[in-house]
Structure 1
Amino acid sequence: METRRLQLLLELSRLGSMRAVADALGTTTSTVSQQIAVLAREAGAQLLEPHGRRVRLTPAGRRLAEHAVTILAAVETARADLHPSTDPVGTVRTAGFATAISRSLLPLVLEFADSHPGVRLITHEHEPAEAVALLGADEIDLAMVYDYNLAPAPLDASLESIPLWTARWGLGVPEHLAAGVSGNSLAVFEAFREHDLIGNSRNRADEDVVRVLTSMAGAGPAVRHKADSLDLVEELIVAGLGVGLLPVERPHRAGVRLVPLAEPEVRLRSYAVIRRGRRTWPPLALVLDRLTAAR
């Protein structure tokens, strides 16, 4: 049932004549009559009956008019709730990789508790491909993902990507092997060509970067081990099982030395990804505004 037709029926119950309804709403008597006839067919009930030279609502018509009050009020409430000028209220479902949750989303949980208590964040930890799949299935509203400057990740045209922050990455190696290793990224990879590389067990982005660098260097370490946790990557490095990409700004455990990668540098790039057309929803717009302000 269209809300416009319900509005006509409600006005008829209040004003008592189709002429009065037409004058009040700036339309014609014929339009009022036609639209209420359509509403009757949609409702599957007779809504009007003759009353002298006029018509009046049947019991079914009066009952539907009572429902119209609640329905139209709910529509107005929803419209006001979604208006950009309204204080945001709602639950924003998010998914993202661990660093983005810690760095970008958790501060918002604390901020909104004071400034926007009507906005609630639900967060799940997922690697980019997993988060994007959830977004495509409309199971979340916002995905926090990443790629690397040397291996850009494609994105479906139905999604919108908002760049956030970047972070430099280097090659984590056993401390006793770091002495004398220097030069650009290609020289570093050449120096560790005989070592195994520790990749990400849930995302191929690290392997894509390694593939680019090894192809440019002509040789380099091959992925033999995989881990989901950066802490575990460092443990594997200390145990002598290989080398692995690690963020430069992250504190590293004893026994791990980070060798800088430059010319070309390796830089992780983080993004907020949403479905196109959703940016104006006030709670999501608020989250995006805070995320971009913190870049």
Structure 2
Amino acid sequence: MLEPTRLRLLREFAEHGTMTAVGEVCGMTSSAVSQQLATLEREAKVALFERAGRRVRLTAEGQRLVRHANIVLNALDAAEEDLRAASTPRGPVRVACFATAAVHRLLPAIATARTRHPELHVVVYELEPHEAVEALRDGNCDLAVAFTYNLIPEDGPPGISRRLLGVEPILIALPTGHPAATHEVDLRLLREEQWIAGSQGTTNHEMLDRACALSAASRPDRRD
């Protein structure tokens, strides 16, 4: 079996003409190059080199082996490139995401991914969580970034794997000077207040109603 590394040295010799030049190109000493090519000659069982005065040149058999080496080495290089390309993230990735996460989480992640994998092309669709999950279920995107509330557990469609990206609390914004603004809020103390909250039919709307029900607070006077 002829060693590909030695075949590369033979090809370099055919191009550059001296052991010294091959050593400079390959980062080896000329004596190391000479030893490797001598080993190749023994493996090939034919004379690959001959003296021409003070120089060494390829024999007809050596030139023939160079032609075969080009075919073999080009095929090996192509195989390595093909495998490398197959393992490198590339092409379009379609991501459905709600607006807040797109700005604060997705865009920084895309910037990092494109630095590491320049052949990756990310297409972002701005969709509400339920729309994003539906798009993923229907094959209209490759990845969905969505949120759920612990008061409204959702299993999602079958066949979709999930990964938790983070947990954030739900906060209530109160006017400066409001009596409840200085401590943890008891929803029962806000039952007479006017609220600005999610529109009817949204998960935000349903979450607030459930939170009020659990705390024995009446449904808030809401301004959607």
Using the size of structure 1 for normalisation, the TM-score is: 0.43
Paired residue for 2:222? 224
Cα distance in 2, alignment partners of residues 99 and 154 from structure 1 = 22
1:183 is displaced (CA, Å) by 6.1
1:99 is displaced (CA, Å) by 2.0
Counterpart amino acid of residue 179 in structure 1: P
1:179 is displaced (CA, Å) by 2.2
Question: Contact 1:128/1:203 (CA < 8 Å) preserved in 2?
Answer: no
Of 177, 196, 199, the residue aligned with 2:197 is 199
Flag the structure with larger Rg: 2
**Correspondence 1:183-262 to 2 at 5 A:** 185=185, 188-201=186-199, 204-222=202-220, 224-226=222-224
**Which has the larger displacement, 114-123 or 98-107?**
98-107
Which structure 2 residue ranges, 5 or more long, are not aligned?
1-78
**Correspondence 1:68-107 to 2 at 5 A:** 83=86, 86-107=87-108
Paired residue for 1:173? 174
Q: What's the % identity of the aligned pairs? A: 25
Encode CA deviations 1:114-164: one digit per residue, 9 max, x unaligned.
221111111121110111111122111111000122322231112111111
Which structure 1 residue ranges, 5 or more long, are not aligned?
1-75, 227-295
Give aligned pairs, total.
Answer: 144
Encode CA deviations 1:235-273: one digit per residue, 9 max, x unaligned.
xxxxxxxxxxxxxxxxxxxxxxxxxxxxxxxxxxxxxxx
Pairing 1:149–2:140 present: no
Counterpart amino acid of residue 189 in structure 2: A
Change in 2 beyond 3 A, CA 1:181/1:102: closer
Cα distance in 2, alignment partners of residues 151 and 218 from structure 1 = 18
Encode CA deviations 1:44-95: one digit per residue, 9 max, x unaligned.
xxxxxxxxxxxxxxxxxxxxxxxxxxxxxxxx9xx95885xx1111111011
Question: Contact 2:94/2:143 (CA < 8 Å) preserved in 1?
Answer: yes
Encode CA deviations 1:3-62: one digit per residue, 9 max, x unaligned.
xxxxxxxxxxxxxxxxxxxxxxxxxxxxxxxxxxxxxxxxxxxxxxxxxxxxxxxxxxxx
CA RMSD of aligned residues (A): 2.7
Change in 2 beyond 3 A, CA 1:81/1:203: farther
Secondary structure of 1:157's match? coil
Q: Give the number of the structure whose residues are more often helix, by fraction.
A: 2
Question: Contact 1:95/1:142 (CA < 8 Å) preserved in 2?
Answer: yes
Encode CA deviations 1:142-200: one digit per residue, 9 max, x unaligned.
11000122322231112111111111221112224x22456655xx2111102233222
Moved >6 Å (runs of 4+):
none
Pairing 1:124–2:125 present: yes
Change in 2 beyond 3 A, CA 1:180/1:109: closer
